Chains A and B, each alone.
Chain A
Amino acid sequence: MEYFVEAFNKAISLMLSFDPELYGIIFLSLKISVIATIISTIIGLPLGAMIGLNRFWGRTALINITNTFMGMPPVVVGLVVYILLSNQMGILGSLRLLFTPIAMIIAQVMLAAPIVSGLTIVAVQGIDPLLKKTAVSLGANSFQLALLIIKEARYAIGAAVITAFGRLTAEVGAVMMVGGNIRFQTRVMTTSIALHKGMGEFQMALALGIILLLISLLINSILDMLRGGRGMGDR
């Protein structure tokens, strides 16, 4: 227990030291995760709403594929993106994106878009069918109905986005593979923790982990405040 208390104290003193390298890592971690979450929402939200709201041939298969991708191992995503961006064999190798923050964002979008999409499907499917019938009977066309359902499911969709963001801030395998954990360039909180652990600096790794958790708590609290302090499930 004492070990953890020391790690916590170290985390606090690290944060108060205003070390430019540490804050650079924190800033890069947030920047990559926020951008990837936004892109994933832009892709996943309409896709999930489209699948959840419509009945078409192959829908069940599409839902199964989405669910499978939701649990995709990050190292597999990292490997695929690595191969795609590799100079030697990748079709996007000429863009020279490997070991850059952009490559890390691409990998993270591949991880988070299915999460946003899959949870959006569940969210819109969870809306009371009577509510849809009411909107239709009041004269809503297909587009107006879709907008209403997304609005009705907004808290669940918000939870989907927060879940995706949480997954990305905690992700290490894919960003390590395509980012390379290069100091001052692609090193983020999680890869930094992995590095310190590898070097046997467990307390430092733990302190960084605590900082990561505190940042996550801060962001979730801000998002909750923006939603009027309703908490995750309360409507």
Chain B
Amino acid sequence: MKEIFSIRMLIKEYNGRRVLDIKELDIEEGGITGIIGPSGAGKSTLLYILNGLEKATSGEIIFDGKKLTGEPDIEVRRQMSMVFQKPTVFNMSVYDNMAYSLKLRGLPKNEIKGRVLELSKFIGIENKLRQKAVTLSGGEAQRLALARAIIHKPKVLLLDEPTANLDPANVAMIEKLILHANEEYKTTIIVITHNMFQAKRIPERLVFLLNGSIVESGETKEMFTKPKDNRTLDFIEGRMIY
């Protein structure tokens, strides 16, 4: 399968402190890749760099066959979306929030309306479209944030612990939406999670990051049943102390 991201010798340093040091990582197009690892392992930094929100100190990233150098141009950025751990909604109506990325891309009003109605039904907030988004509950806001990120059918969706602090019903809904984007829109998904059940359920492949470096990566099933590194086993079984 073709790679959407090819990462080589990627280094990120903050004030001389190395927080990310990835020798080699390929992300398959159209797949779901999970990133696991303890807090401070560099997971979010990796996603920020892939999304162009932060610059790497050195290294090479090839996105969809194109080498990313410096500030990624707007056309590259518009092929991706990112959802953060904290539900972030704009102080406007639910409808305008969902339509935001489509308006940015200048889509016709009818198409915007159609896509908003379809997705809002999918996530169960179709009767709240006129409501101010800031009045939604945490779970609803995160569903909205995810729907807003996939409504323009991005090539890549980057998820930074999208279900942290959510109740099981909302976790299920978010996971359903992630799978919907992957299956219906063929969106490549990279998801950071601390939830080992979720890591088992959703991604086909897993990457285990520790202190900024990849300890192990491979198919999810294999990682859980036959991990090659003892540190991976310690982490997924909750024995790692860090």
Does residue A232 face the partner (Cβ distance < 8 Å to B)? no
The reply to whether the CB of B81 lies closer than 8 angstroms to some CB of chain A is yes
Q: Specify the chain B residue showing the minimal Cβ separation from A140.
A: B104
B81 CB contacts on chain A under 8 angstroms: 137-139
> Given A138-B100, A138-B148, A133 and B84 touching (CB < 8 A)?
yes
With contact pairs A144-B104, A151-B92, A235-B134 given, residues A137 and B86 touching in the complex (Cβ less than 8 Å): no
Which positions 43-101 of chain B face chain A at CB distance < 8 Å? 51-53, 74, 77-78, 80-82, 84, 86, 88, 90-92, 100-101
Q: A138-B104, A139-B78 are in contact. Are A130 and B90 (CB under 8 A)?
A: no
Is chain A's binding surface mostly helix, strand, loop or mixed?
helix
Query: Which residues on A sit within 8 Å (CB–CB) of B74?
Result: 139, 141
| B125-160 at interface with A (beta carbon < 8 Å) | 134, 145, 148-149, 152, 158
In the bound complex, CA of A140 to CA of B91 (Å) = 16
B77 touches A139 (CB 8 A): yes
| Residue in A130, A139, A140 whose CB lies within 8 Å of B88 | A130
CB distance A139 to B105 under 8 Å? yes
Closest residue of B by beta carbon distance from A130: B88
Name, among A134, A136, A140, A152, the residue most crowded by chain B CB atoms within 10 Å (CB to CB).
A134
Q: Which of A134, A136, A137, A152 has the most CB of B within 10 A?
A: A137
Distance, CA A153 to CA B104, complexed state (A): 19
A2 at the interface (CB under 8 A from B): no
Instruction: Name the residue on B nearest A148 (C-beta).
Output: B90
CB of A89 closer than 8 Å to a CB of B: no
Chain B residues near A141: list those with CB within 8 A: 74, 104
A residues less than 8 Å from B77 (CB atoms)? 136-137, 139
Interface string of A204-235 (1 = CB under 8 A from B): 00000000000000000000000000000001
- Minimum C-beta distance from B149 to chain A (A): 7
Most central of B86, B91, B145, B152 by chain A CB within 10 Å: B91
Q: What 1/0 mask marks residues of chain A from 112 to 136 whose CB sits below 8 Å from any chain B CB? A: 0000000000000000101101111
For B132, the closest partner residue in chain A by CB is A235
List the 5 closest pairs (A to B, CB-CB), nearest first.
A137-B82, A139-B78, A138-B101, A134-B88, A139-B104
A-B contact pairs, 17 of them (CB 8 A): A130-B88, A133-B84, A134-B88, A134-B90, A137-B51, A137-B77, A137-B81, A138-B104, A138-B148, A139-B74, A139-B81, A139-B104, A144-B104, A151-B91, A151-B92, A152-B90, A235-B91
Q: Give me 17 other A-B pairs in contact (C-beta within 8 A), A134-B90, A137-B77, A138-B148 excluded.
A: A128-B88, A131-B90, A133-B82, A134-B84, A136-B52, A137-B53, A137-B80, A137-B82, A138-B104, A138-B149, A139-B78, A139-B101, A139-B152, A140-B104, A151-B91, A152-B90, A235-B134
